[in-house]
Amino acid sequence: MKTAVYLDHAATTRLHPKALEAMLPFLRDAYGNPSGNYALGRQAARAIDEARSTVAGVLNCRPQETVFTGPGTESINAAVKGVAFAQRQAGLGNHIVTTTLEHHAVLHSCEYLEEFGFEITYVPVDAYGMVDPDGVARAVNERTVLVSVMLANNEIGTVQPIARIVEAVRERAKSLPGARRRVPVHTDAVQGANALDLDVAKLGVDLLSLSAHKFSGPKGAGVLYVKRGTPFLSQLSGGGQERQRRAGTENVASIAATAVALREAQQGRESYRAVCGALTRRLAEGVLRAVPAATFNGHREQRLPNNAHFSFEGAESDGILSALDKLGIAASAGSACNSATWEPSHVLVAIGMPLRRAAGALRLTAGPENTEEEIDYVLSVLPGAVAESRASARHGLSAK
């Protein structure tokens, strides 16, 4: 069935036509292996070089500091595990600081590292999903080998003060007894590329992860920025591609498209913020006006301009989503709220949302191709979908 209104841009985005164009030659005749020492191979290698300088331009870093990876998840795994193992191998410690709000790519990487003897401190966030930079800094000790804090949250859209966090961590590291090194800071910037400045010098981070399909690039492709001099142990064993940091024959078509999509995202950032911001405000105000007992979640100002996250007490996400789906509207509960076990998303737990509200969560994420008419259509049907879900939830409970 054709989706009439797509409001799940945090999940993925449509491929940019210029990104598609950039891919096609490498899916057709320019199929050479970039390691090949002949014209076809050199053509592919040149495309990667060009893509690398484009990406480095957007991130404001050296081309050699960028690594093309598989999906955002791989970029994050490479950063968290790669730095953790390299630092421990150098005898620098075994402690990692992160937050309770991170994506599972970070949280599960940390859990994996716990199996290998690492200790993890999960810094809590406030009711809006904000991390206190001083709280992060206080968690750093003389055994800390990595700090990882996301730039923007994928569920509630809260944007973290990364530059201030980096500054606070640096100050803290200097004040520790026997301080002899920097504590590298990684940021999962997967949700940030469309709306936020990715200049790594301004952010101050040592590592940054991106996922192409979130900014109208292809799926399964990502980028990892690794600042020169950051201890890093590749998590993939094999060939020497990507300066020994990511073995495996490069996905040339996706790399070329990733760079084009990132460049387009940067060039369109201001208009993206304005267009998505206006659509999302219209949506949020309309929902809060039309749906009784609705709450708007996440930070009011420090948030992604295209993210509206609500909870409807007494309703169930699954019911709302399937009603919207029947009406041609693609939306999300955020991360899956497991209705079978009644386990709410870890993000909603992290911000202290009670279960009865978390169970009725709805995330609507706009994109620049959405229109006011589409938003008004959603506003015309959503109150009914919530009311129906509330009625059937009441019915379900009383039937038990």
Ligand X SMILES: Cc1ncc(COP(=O)(O)O)c(C=O)c1O
Binding site for ligand X (CB under 6 A): 71-73, 76, 103, 105, 150, 154, 188, 190-191, 211, 213, 222
CA 209 to the chain's CA centroid: 8
Q: Which is nearer to ligand X, 72 or 82 (CB)?
A: 72
Check 61, 110, 276, 337 and give the catalytic one.
337
What distance in Å separates the CA atoms of residue 203 and residue 167, rounded to the nearest whole number? 9
- The letter for the amino acid at 183 is V
Is 276 marked active-site?
A: no
Strands (E) across 95-135 are located at 95-99, 119-123
Q: Which is nearer to ligand X, 160 or 389 (CB)?
A: 160
Q: Which is nearer to ligand X, 62 or 104 (CB)?
A: 104
Q: Which is nearer to ligand X, 78 or 378 (CB)?
A: 78
Shortest Cβ distance from residue 247 to ligand X (Å)?
Answer: 19
Shortest Cβ distance from residue 40 to ligand X (Å)?
Answer: 29
Shortest Cβ distance from residue 335 to ligand X (Å)?
Answer: 8
Residue nearest ligand X, CB atom distance: 72
3-state secondary structure of 98: strand
Shortest Cβ distance from residue 53 to ligand X (Å)?
Answer: 23
Evaluated on CA atoms 11, 16, 17, 21, the torsion sign reads negative
Long-range contacts of residues 18-22, Cβ cutoff 8 Å, at least 24 apart? 18/260, 18/261, 18/264, 19/216, 19/217, 19/218, 19/257, 19/258, 19/260, 19/261, 19/264, 20/257, 21/260, 22/253, 22/256, 22/257, 22/259, 22/260
Shortest Cβ distance from residue 13 to ligand X (Å)?
Answer: 11
3-state secondary structure of 158: strand
Q: Where are the alpha helices (DSSP H) in 182-251?
A: 200-203, 241-244
Q: Would you list the DSSP string of 23-45?
A: HHHHHTT----TT-SSHHHHHHH
Q: Which is nearer to ligand X, 52 or 103 (CB)?
A: 103
Cβ atoms 23, 254 nearer than 8 A: yes
Catalytic site residues? 337
